[in-house]
């Protein structure tokens, strides 16, 4: 395959979901609907929490930031894909590709970091309820969100730094509907083994540490709940973290499961399906999980609706 100098590569070609012209209107309507549902659902969560004083607590402060990160995360990829389907043009510039990859990693990592922070919040609330207000004070909450943002920004810039070191590319075709970092990093014509080592190290730090934090938090939470003598007390304790645990399983389950499946059975189509699951489906379902499984959110939504009526 002919190598292309970096100075000559001004754009990449996104292969997208399907080349079938008859299927394009269906894909357009399907993904536009999913994007609108995800954006409006997360905006509704933000408005509900902001307008109801009963929800001005650390848990719902983190939920607002998670909803905002989800809106930005899905907006990084889906609008570009919708425009590509509408115009039948799947080209993205080199600078646009790097920008999209940076924001994709930034808000994807932000999701994972916020889920970890929320797990710590639930750990303090259940395991140290008497000190909850003192520990989870507004200054600490803002500090944790800022730390999550800067860690996510650091990871996105590390990926950017690696890509801009490439002096040539083996190909300009990306078999996805966005600039997938895992594929873009392997398009460089240089030896990919050092890149893989660096990426596995970075992934183990920025991805593994949040997962370990969530697992440790829930290990302590479950241990504390099991010591509660009454069944009602156990149910009440579990219900306070049920929504968060569902979102954690959905986010990490689709991301890890999708990529493990595509790694064991390499296929461009499986990569695309995995990408759709955790870049579109997960941000769309998060508002439903929190609104349907959370009694406080449902009550706040009803109060907001009653005031509007």
Q: What is the pLDDT along the chain (309 residues), one digit of tens a residue?
A: 444 444 457 788 888 777 777 888 888 899 999 999 999 999 988 988 888 788 888 988 999 999 999 999 999 999 999 988 888 888 888 888 889 999 999 998 999 899 999 999 989 988 888 899 999 999 999 999 999 999 999 989 888 888 887 767 777 888 888 888 877 877 776 666 676 677 777 777 777 788 888 889 888 888 888 877 777 666 766 766 777 788 888 888 777 765 555 555 556 666 777 778 878 888 888 888 877 667 777 777 777 667 665
CATH topology for 10-308 is Rhopdopsin 7-helix transmembrane proteins (1.20.1070)
Helices (H) and strands (E) in the chain, counts: 12, 5
Spell out the residues 6+ positions from residue 147 whose beta carbon is closer than 8 angstroms to its own: 113
Long-range pairs of 61-68 with CB within 8 A, sequence gap ≥ 24: 61/141, 62/114, 62/117, 62/118, 62/121, 62/141, 62/144, 62/145, 63/118, 63/290, 65/114, 65/145, 66/111, 66/114, 66/115, 66/118, 66/247, 66/286, 67/42, 67/43, 67/286, 67/287, 68/42
| Domain ranges across the chain | 10-308
CA distance 134 to 131: 5
Calculate the alpha carbon distances from 263 to 95, 174, 257, 281 in Å. Answer: 28, 17, 10, 21
Number of Cβ within a 10 Å radius of residue 216: 13
């Amino acid at each position: 395959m002919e190598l292309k100098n970096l100075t000559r590569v001004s754009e990449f070609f996104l292969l997208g979901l399907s080349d079938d012209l008859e299927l394009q209107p269906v894909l357009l309507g399907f993904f536009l609907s999913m994007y609108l549902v995800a954006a409006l659902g997360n905006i509704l969560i933000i408005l509900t929490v902001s307008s109801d004083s009963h929800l001005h607590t650390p848990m719902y402060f983190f939920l607002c930031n998670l909803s905002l990160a989800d809106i930005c995360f899905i907006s990084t990829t889906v609008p570009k894909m919708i425009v590509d389907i509408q115009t039948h043009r799947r080209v993205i510039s080199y600078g646009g590709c790097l920008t999209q990859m940076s924001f994709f990693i930034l808000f994807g990592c932000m999701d994972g970091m916020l889920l970890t922070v929320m797990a710590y919040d639930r750990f303090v609330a259940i395991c140290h309820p008497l000190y909850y207000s003192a520990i989870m004070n507004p200054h600490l909450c803002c500090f944790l969100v800022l730390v999550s943002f800067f860690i996510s920004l650091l990871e996105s810039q590390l990926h950017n730094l690696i890509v801009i070191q490439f002096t040539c590319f083996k190909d300009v075709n990306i078999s996805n509907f966005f600039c997938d970092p895992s594929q873009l990093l392997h398009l460089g014509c240089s030896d990919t083994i050092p890149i893989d080592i660096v990426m596995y190290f970075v992934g183990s730090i920025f991805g593994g540490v949040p997962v370990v934090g969530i697992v440790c938090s829930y290990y302590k939470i479950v241990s504390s709940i099991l010591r509660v003598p009454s069944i009602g007390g156990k149910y009440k304790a579990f219900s306070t973290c049920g929504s968060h645990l569902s979102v954690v399983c959905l986010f990490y389950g689709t991301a890890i499961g999708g990529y493990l499946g595509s790694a064991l059975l390499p296929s461009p189509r499986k990569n695309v399906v995995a990408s759709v699951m955790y870049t579109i489906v997960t941000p769309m379902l998060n508002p439903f999980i929190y609104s349907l499984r959370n009694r406080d959110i449902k009550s706040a939504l009803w109060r907001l609706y009653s005031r509007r009526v």
